[in-house]
Amino acid sequence: MTIFLTASAAALAITVLLLGGLLLARRSRGSERLEGMVHDLAAALERAERESRRAHMLGELALSLELDDVVARTLEAARLLPGVDAARVHIATGSGEVVAADGLTAEDEPAPALSATPDEPKVVRLSLAHDGETTTGDAAGVLREGLVVPLTNGEDHVGHLGAYSRAAGGLEHARADLEELAQRAAPILDNARRFREARQLADLDALTGLHNQRFFHETLAREVARARRYKRSLALIVLDLDDFKLINDRIGHLAGDSVLAETAERVRGAVRTADIACRVGGDEFAVILPESTLLEADQLYERISSAVSSQPVGQGGLIRLSAGVTELRPDDDALALFRRADEALYRAKRAGKATVVAVAALPPEDVERLSDSAPG
């Protein structure tokens, strides 16, 4: 049976032992020895509690396949090692790198060793730049030591794990424990990384590389719920290529797919970082605009239309877009918001194509066509 010593129980035990030790010390000529024993016992209890918490964290590492959860638990377990004041994890992914830290301050970031990827575990002396001057760990509160160990799963390099101390010699006894943590965490981090990459691939449209229809509807529902909860604005653009069936008939479906792919690339280049561009049908696209108004959505449509129509798209020639634009109303759910934008798109088509129809957060009959034709 395993017994976990809680912080309150440890504190109570330490208090009782301290009081008892002090009383005994007054009655004994060996008071210094007794006080030393009480101090050693208190330290032992604290170490036992930390070990108990760390063992608990290690046991929870594999409870989730979410990469963020596993990284957070790995950092927490590292922070519980003796002498460790801060920890950082770098995970290499197919789309870049995931970096997370616990205990590091903004002043710690310039340290070059924090982002190093060593081939072998090593303890390094860190130097930090402060206001144009460089310190080497002599100033109070700065990092003095860093221990960086690789995260490997068999032959696969997953990333690396760093532990840092603000005390000289603070990591003297942490190396073996940090290496053990890295060995246990690396396979779990690797599985979580692969799960995230697989899920990201499942969220992408194979032809265009934009988010797919399923991701669009899930994300729109989530963004609508968030906007309503926090009383934020939210806008939506639904657009498609004018006369794309005629283009397909003229150049064939294979070449038509190339036109769609290049159009999607131009859409991706025109949207902002926070915008979520998706392919929701054959030649129909949608862009979710969190924290955005109807006017901002109309302006984004103009940029997208200009990017697509400014020059020929492959064998398809000059491509023009029609769009429906709307914004969230207080009583909207995701389906109502999408249907209103989609209906606005069809109104734009009936109005002569290469047109945007915007529906404000007003009664449905208050519809204004913001532009008669797209640029280019």
> 21-25, 205-209, 288-292: which has the minimum mean pLDDT?
21-25
- Which tokens is 216 given? 């669009």
Are 278 and 220 within 8 A, CB to CB?
no
Please, what is the Cα angle at 16 between 14 and 20, to 5 degrees? 115
pLDDT number for residue 53 = 56
Average pLDDT over residues 207-233: 93
Confidence label for 131 from pLDDT (cuts 50, 70 and 90): very low
Give 294-350 pLDDT, tens digit per residue: 999 999 999 999 999 989 888 888 899 999 999 999 999 999 999 999 999 999 988
pLDDT number for residue 195 = 87
Which one is catalytic: 205, 275, 283, 342? 283
- Which amino acid appears at position 69 of this protein? D
Q: Is the dihedral of CA 24, 26, 31, 36 positive or negative?
A: positive
Q: Write the CA distances from 176 to 81, 123, 146, 193, 254, integer angstroms.
A: 10, 12, 14, 25, 58
Confidence label for 31 from pLDDT (cuts 50, 70 and 90): low
Average pLDDT over residues 62-86: 87
- 42 has a pLDDT exceeding 90: no
Question: Cα–Cα distance between 322 and 344 in angstroms, integer?
Answer: 10
pLDDT number for residue 105 = 82
- 251 has a pLDDT exceeding 70: yes
Three-state secondary structure call for residue 248: helix
pLDDT number for residue 29 = 52
Higher pLDDT, 374 or 162: 162
Specify the DSSP class assigned to residue 292.
-
Specify the DSSP class assigned to residue 171.
T
Confidence label for 232 from pLDDT (cuts 50, 70 and 90): very high
Higher pLDDT, 135 or 174: 174
- Has 283 been annotated as catalytic? yes
Question: Cα–Cα distance between 142 and 121 in angstroms, integer?
Answer: 22
Confidence label for 5 from pLDDT (cuts 50, 70 and 90): very low
- 7 has a pLDDT exceeding 70: no
Among 23-32, 112-121, 167-176, 187-196, name the most confident range.
Answer: 187-196
pLDDT number for residue 373 = 42
Average pLDDT over residues 206-229: 93
- Which tokens is 280 given? 């929701």
pLDDT number for residue 9 = 54
pLDDT number for residue 130 = 43
User: In sequence order, what are the residues at sequence separation of 6 or more whose Cβ sits closer than 8 angstroms to the Cβ of residue 177?
Assistant: 81, 82
Average pLDDT over residues 352-375: 59
Q: Which residue has the tokens 């109309």?
A: 298
- 45 has a pLDDT exceeding 90: no
pLDDT number for residue 54 = 55
pLDDT number for residue 278 = 96
Average pLDDT over residues 62-82: 87
- 118 has a pLDDT exceeding 80: no
Question: Cα–Cα distance between 84 and 173 in angstroms, integer?
Answer: 10
pLDDT number for residue 299 = 94
Mean pLDDT across the chain: 79
User: In sequence order, what are the residues at sequence separation of 6 or more whose Cβ sits closer than 8 angstroms to the Cβ of residue 301?
Assistant: 237, 239, 321, 323, 325, 356
Specify the DSSP class assigned to residue 204.
B
User: In sequence order, what are the residues at sequence separation of 6 or more whose Cβ sits closer than 8 angstroms to the Cβ of residue 26?
Assistant: none
The neighbour count for residue 132, using CB atoms within 10 Å, is 5
pTM of the model: 0.58
Q: Write the CA distances from 195 to 35, 57, 59, 144, 201, integer angstroms.
A: 54, 21, 20, 36, 10
- 82 has a pLDDT exceeding 90: no
Exposure letters 341-354 (e unless 16+ CB within 10 A, then b): bbbbbebbbeeebb
What is the secondary structure of 65-110 as a DSSP string?
A: --HHHHHHHHHHHHHTSTT--EEEEEEEETTEEEEEEES--GGGTT
| DSSP percent split of the chain into helix, strand, coil, nearest 5 | 50, 20, 30
Please, what is the Cα angle at 228 between 226 and 231, to 5 degrees? 100
- 86 has a pLDDT exceeding 70: yes
pLDDT number for residue 206 = 87
Average pLDDT over residues 236-249: 92
- 262 has a pLDDT exceeding 80: yes
pLDDT number for residue 303 = 94
pLDDT number for residue 39 = 61
- Which tokens is 148 given? 């960086």
